[in-house]
Chains A and B, each alone.
Chain A
Amino acid sequence: MREDYEVIIGLEVHAELSTNTKIYCGCTTKFGADPNTHCCPICTGMPGVLPVLNEKVVEYAVKMGLATNCEIARFSKQDRKNYFYPDLPKAFQTSQYDLPLCEHGHLDFKVNGQDKTVGITRIHIEEDAGKLIHDAYTGDTLVDMNRCAVPLIEIVSEPDIRSADEAVTYMQTLKSILEYLEICDCKMQEGSLRCDVNLSVRKKGDTKFGTRTETKNLNSFRSIARAIEFETNRQIEELENGGTIYQETRRFDDARGIGYAMRSKEDAHDYRYFPEPDLAPIVLSEEYIANLKASLPELPHVRKQRYINDFSLSEYDAEQLTISKETANYFEKVNSICNNPKAVANWIMTDFTKLLNEAEITISESKITAENLAELILLIDKGTISSAIAKKVFKKMFETGKSAKQIVEEEGLVQVTDENEIKQIVLKIIDLNPQSVQDYKAGKDKAIGFLVGQIMRETKGKANPQIVNKLLLEILNK
């Protein structure tokens, strides 16, 4: 991006709520069933049906509002957003227009060590649409209504975001809160968390916003970042070449890494919003809101501070561990057994994360139980195995799910600490390498490293390195 430009971004984030049933009927919200098996006359918009609001949806949305410092509306209503599309059986989406459940919130987080605040304009409840499936064999387009009326919240941010990094961190922070509240499963690849990016650019110093475009339906952090970079560069280039930015809806093709216009605002829908006459307004009492507030779990930023205070972790480590509730819970469980927070943090953030990313699974899906990781750390702490061996054991644990002890025993990896035993090997290596001994005596310290390496190789890495060093020097310096 050119230095003389500034990018202005606002995000509209859609999160599917993990209620058991849909927003206006008793159908299950489970993902992945055969098409049109999770639907009924109500969610397929049969003539004569009426909606009944699932109260859990309101509860979840209010929790999110409270967790993002929003004002909660004591009186709000639902509205119909009218448009025709085959995945929308009623030809209107029930949403909230001018009186959303939550407004005027904000989210604080750190981006590259800098404090950042992004305003939350509003959070409202609405229903999801179905899915169109194109049958390549017959050429037909078929509709699957299982997702129809799965509850969503839409979280709309202020145009406070100034880079792809900020956008991604904002999104990660939202995801983290949704997970902590246990109101969304946040499976981005399944579409249960996705976002639209509103973006414009302007010359630095300008006070007016440029014309913005909206890139729809981004469902990974990577595609959010790439779509923002693409669109920023496109707009700047367009302006530099004397062109005009049009207010339009765009898509981003992740595979090809390019964005393209979907439709312009000129032929945009007039949604003809009006209050849903089949649903009464949502009236919330002070008591209801107070109860929900009291029921909120510890949120990520609070937990992070606790980790800094209680475990003496660095801010960075605390942040990395607490961003995912799953990871943080795992961390605490391991540490409750082995009581070595720094070591637990290191294992989770380095070796473990690397293997999880490679396998594309989450920490609770891995075969390494918290108990087993704690055991491994205890084995190191007691000196039963060396750190080098531990890394190998860890990999085995990840692959097989066996406990550290079992692997160490099966493979005879227990660290050798018997000085007599090590001494024999040291003497043997010295005998075999007279040149190195000579080099050492001639003042070449490097030779020590070679000899230690030879000894470790002889012991298959099991010899305690401190003892090896101590004995080797003793013998050489005699």
Chain B
Amino acid sequence: MNLYSLSLSDIAKKIKLKEVLIKEVLDSVYARIDEVEPKVDAYITLTKEYAYKRAQELQEKLDNGENIGVLGGVPIAIKDNICTKDIKTTCASRMLENFIPPYDATVIKKLEENGAIIIGKTNMDEFAMGSSTETSYFKKTKNPWDLEKVPGGSSGGSAACVASDMAFAALGSDTGGSIRQPASYCSVIGLKPTYGLVSRYGLVAFASSLDQIGPFTKTVEDAAIMLNVITGHDNMDTTSLDIDYEDYTKALVNSVDKIRIGIDKNFTKDGVAEDVKNAYNNSLELLQKLGANIVEVDLSYAKYSLATYYIIATAEASSNLGRYDGIRYGHRAKEFSDLIDLYKKSRTEGFGDEVKRRIMLGTYVLSSGYYDAYYKRAQQVRTLIINEFKKAFDNCDVILIPTAPNTAFKFGAKAENPLEMYLEDIYTVPVNIAGLPGISIPAGFDKDAMPIGLQIIANAFDEQKMLQVAYTFEQNTDFHSKKPEIK
């Protein structure tokens, strides 16, 4: 068996037990990258030199008997919207094509403190806006299960690189489903933590009240390990919560006995592919068989999530992306007649269509005279959705819905119709609107052998319950152990 195909926890153990050298692990992963990256295109930047230097340092420490951390020597990929000091962070945008951050994101510090080795920065939809990674300025990442199909998005590069064994884990960001949906499309674990659990300091903001960083992994256990590392209060982010953080690996119990699983049949009635629906029903049946109780919950307001999302997210984005003006860093137009012209041309050239569309939408909904009708009302609906979930969790421990209504689609299939693309997030967006944790785990394949994901949602800060159900499901199925044949 190749080293690169092991799980994070297995490779970390092997390194610690000195069964392998860290360098050998890196060799294996970079060889794998050389082999499949030309087909998958998951990375924007590879940090090989930096990685080998780190590997040597860590190996020396390990050989000196020092503790190199729970992720000691493990190669990890980072979505290219998380700032890495001295390493290009492009957000897959022409605007930041040559942007090198002068500082590390808090999660990067935490990963490195725990021994992780950053091996590269992954492709994504430009500024995390999209559901297919097609809006990247640089390249189109392919779904390892079918190279003619999208990997999902916006963290498509991170999902694809874990699915094709080009990293043991990756970080992504999830604003409306950008971790869970590509995890579902690529058959890996994708976890979006509760809003406020992980510091956003250093995550290039798309929609500040919705963004959250989370891991992609090959197993639920690995997700728990990654979560242990990246969570925690950060003085640099006042929205990160100061609570007692538990060891998430303690939640890895193979049992769903008496666990109450909430479902809303109406929510999953229409617009869901037949195969996805079947996989979902089979999953419910299995969990029931394993001792879980199914309870009906009412998520009537959740269907307004998408509309709410596209007002709040675009409003915040229109403000967050104002700083890319060609003045201090980033793309600046070569020729301009005056200041306004400099702004116009730099932004016209620097941003792609989807980013422009969302900036315009957001600018519109915040305009004087429209604020009350759009932004304010969206915030009111957001409160209704939050309360609805709160009520639902009075009667259940987790809520199960499909991660996405469909499996991965062909390149260009939805590119011409933004609304159809937005609908791919219909089951993931409510979780962001309510600030809840959600995880997508492999739960089957459709008739074209494309992966299907199952989404488990828990109450705020109840990642343990979510992980317990995910772990139990994983231990009793083998979807997660299937690997794509990349051809």
Contacts and interface: CB of A to CB of B under 8 A. Distances in A.
Given A41-B103, A270-B368, A274-B366, A48 B322 contact: no
A91 B325 contact: yes
B205 A48 contact: yes
A47 B101 contact: yes
Overall SS of chain A's interface: loop
Task: Name, among A44, A89, A91, A279, the residue most crowded by chain B CB atoms within 10 Å (CB to CB).
Answer: A91
Given A82-B319, A91-B323, A272-B367, A48 B96 contact: no
Interface string A76-118: 0000101010100111100000000000000000000000000
Contacts of A89: 323, 327-328
Contacts of B83: 46-48
A280 B238 contact: yes
Contacts of B89: 47-48
B319 A80 contact: yes
Interface in A52-91: 52-53, 80, 82, 84, 86, 89-91
B407 interface: no
Interface in A225-283: 270, 272-274, 277-280
Interface in A274-320: 274, 277-280
A143 interface: yes
B472 interface: no
Interface stretch (B28-36, B196-204, B284-292, B410-418): B196-204
A48 B343 contact: no
A50 to B, nearest CB: 5
Contacts of A427: none
Output the residue of A44, A82, A278 with the most chain B CB within 10 A: A278
A53 B238 contact: yes
Interface in B73-105: 81-83, 89, 91, 96, 99, 101-103, 105
Contact of B238 (A86, A90, A274, A279): A279
Contacts of B367: 270, 272
B327 A143 contact: yes
Interface in B194-219: 200-205, 207-209
A1 interface: no
Interface in A124-151: 143
A47 B319 contact: no
A48 B339 contact: no
Given A52-B235, A272-B367, A277 B323 contact: no
A311 to B, nearest CB: 50
A49 interface: yes
Contact of A91 (B205, B236, B322): B322
Contacts of A401: none
A149 to B, nearest CB: 13
Nearest to A279: B238
B316 interface: yes
B114 interface: no
A228 B471 CA distance: 73
Contacts of B339: 86
B131 interface: no
B371 interface: yes
B383 to A, nearest CB: 13
A127 to B, nearest CB: 14
Nearest to B208: A277
B12 interface: no
A464 to B, nearest CB: 72
A52 B238 contact: yes
Interface of B: 81-83, 89, 91, 96, 99, 101-103, 105, 200-205, 207-209, 235-239, 315-316, 318-319, 322-323, 325, 327-329, 339, 343, 363, 366-368, 371, 375
5 contacts: A46-B83, A48-B203, A53-B238, A86-B325, A278-B208
Given A47-B91, A50-B239, A272-B367, 9 more contacts: A41-B101, A45-B328, A48-B105, A51-B238, A84-B322, A86-B325, A270-B367, A277-B207, A277-B209
